[in-house]
Amino acid sequence: MNQTIVFLAASLACGAVLADEIRDYRAEAAAMLKRDFKTKGIATADRLHEDGVQAICNRTSDHPPKAVAERLEKDQLDGVRYPADGKLMGDWKAGEKLAQSGRGMTWSDKAGVPGGGNCYNCHQIGPQETSFGTIGTSLYQYGKLRGNTPETQKYTYAKIWNAKAFNLCSAMPRFGHAGALTEAQIKDLVALLLDPQSPVNSK
Residues 120-171 pLDDT 10s: 999 999 888 888 999 999 999 999 999 999 999 999 999 999 999 999 999 9
- Superfamily grouping for domain 38-201: Cytochrome c-like domain (1.10.760.10)
Write down the domain spans for the chain. Answer: 1-36, 38-201
| pLDDT at residue 7 in the model | 43
The DSSP code sequence of 19-52 is: HHHT--HHHHHHHHHHHH---BTTB-GGGG---H
Q: What is the pTM of this model?
A: 0.82
Answer for the pair 76, 183: CB distance below 8 angstroms, yes or no: no
CA dist 51 and 173 (Å) reads 13
CA dist 41 and 107 (Å) reads 5
pLDDT at 36 over 60: yes
C-alpha 10, offset from chain centre: 47
